[in-house]
Structure 1
Amino acid sequence: MDTVKQFDKQTFDALLSKAAQSERRRANLNVHASYEDVVQRLFIAMMPDSYVRPHRHTQTHKWEFFMAVEGKLTLILFDDNGTVTKRVMLDATGDCRGLEIPPNVWHATVCEAPVVFMEVKQGPYEVTDDKGFAPWAPPEGSEDVPLFLQHLKAVKEGQSAAVINDATE
């Protein structure tokens, strides 16, 4: 018999604590049983200094859905050259709480304060084929990340986020 899963404030507080202690400054709690599941469901806690390299999901069936659970999260959408096409703030207590991103759309997430959000996406999860990273953004761990993350938080629609042109994966 399947077990009913409950997600309460204690769950999210523990996830935020785990993210704060993580080197990547984020942590996830998978709701799905396996990476083979056809729908992947997870909660993600993220700190303001966590860097999610702009990426897209190139498989034609790989959409993503995000919903703010606690706090605020900004999703930034880009064109192929790194120009910001849209900024959407998800706010757990505001007007816009969720967003679905279709396949092949460049995007990144940034936050100003600790946040918990839910991500739902098409499975199965294939680690080697999940993301195509933006060549105009520094790879995770690069010394350029702090400056680039600061730029991402400030860049406006119509402006370029591509401050680094020779980034490698």
Structure 2
Amino acid sequence: MTTLIDNPLLDNLCAAAAASLRRRKNHNLHLSDDAPAHRLLNAVQPDSYIAPHRHLDPTKDETFVVLRGLMGLLIFDDAGQIVKQIKVSAGTQSAGAGDTVNGAENIILGVDIPAGTWHTSLALVPDTVILEAKAGPYHPLTEAERAPWAPAENTPEAAAYLANWHAAFEV
């Protein structure tokens, strides 16, 4: 079946994310958790906390492309210190990266994260939608893949982390 990734699909997904307790919602494009390639849309609201994590399976590089809105990507070291922060834009908003290519602002549309890299992402504006791709099959994160220095979802500490991350992006 051919799936159109269009504005009505993104609008519906964003509405579902806004109504969700986790403030995000995914729409799988792959047919099962056992599929060898996972492709999904993920609509995320700015108050959604995604705990830092990594994928230890060497085949689990992760690719994000922003289709709508503005996403912040944070890369951490093993101690939980931010070593890189990247604004990723759908191209309709300046990511403010400050880089130029041939005299024009370099807008970052997507990013590929190598397996084993501690990372998280956050929506910097409402109704941010990303296209995510990584190898399947799906396996829940193991303890070794969850950041021991980061709080769990739905805790006061998680809300404080998220607020600090937003402040780091000055949005």
State how many pairs are aligned: 154
Q: In structure 2, how many angstroms separate the alpha carbons of the residues matched to 1:103 and 1:50?
A: 23
Equivalent position amino acid for 1:118 in 2: L
Compared with structure 1, are the counterparts of its residues 88 and 45 closer, same or farther at alpha carbon in structure 2 (3 Å cutoff)? same
Alignment match, 1:120: 133
Alignment match, 2:108: 96
Give the C-alpha shift of residue 131 in structure 1: 7.4
Q: In structure 2, how many angstroms separate the alpha carbons of the residues matched to 1:62 and 1:155?
A: 28
TM-score, structure 1 as length reference: 0.86
Q: Is the 1:56–1:103 contact (alpha carbons within 8 Å) kept by the matching residues of 2? A: yes
Alignment match, 1:54: 52
TM-score, structure 2 as length reference: 0.85
Root-mean-square deviation over aligned CA pairs: 1.6
Alignment match, 1:142: 155
1:38 aligned to 2:36?
yes
Q: Is the 1:84–1:155 contact (alpha carbons within 8 Å) kept by the matching residues of 2? A: no
Structure 2 counterpart SS, 1:144: helix
Q: Is the 1:28–1:45 contact (alpha carbons within 8 Å) kept by the matching residues of 2? A: yes
- From 122, 134, 141, the equivalent of 1:110 is 122
Instruction: Flag as ranges the 4+ runs of structure 1 deviating above 6 A.
Output: none
**Cα deviation digits, residues 88-120 of structure 1 (max 9, x gap):** 111001511010000000000012212001100
Which consecutive residues of structure 1, in runs of 5 or more, have no partner in the other structure?
157-169
Q: In structure 2, how many angstroms separate the alpha carbons of the residues matched to 1:77 and 1:139?
A: 18
Q: Is the 1:57–1:130 contact (alpha carbons within 8 Å) kept by the matching residues of 2? A: no
Q: Is the 1:57–1:131 contact (alpha carbons within 8 Å) kept by the matching residues of 2? A: no
User: Larger RCO: Structure 1 or Structure 2 (Cα < 8 Å, ≥ 6 residues apart)?
Assistant: 2
Which consecutive residues of structure 2, in runs of 5 or more, have no partner in the other structure?
95-106
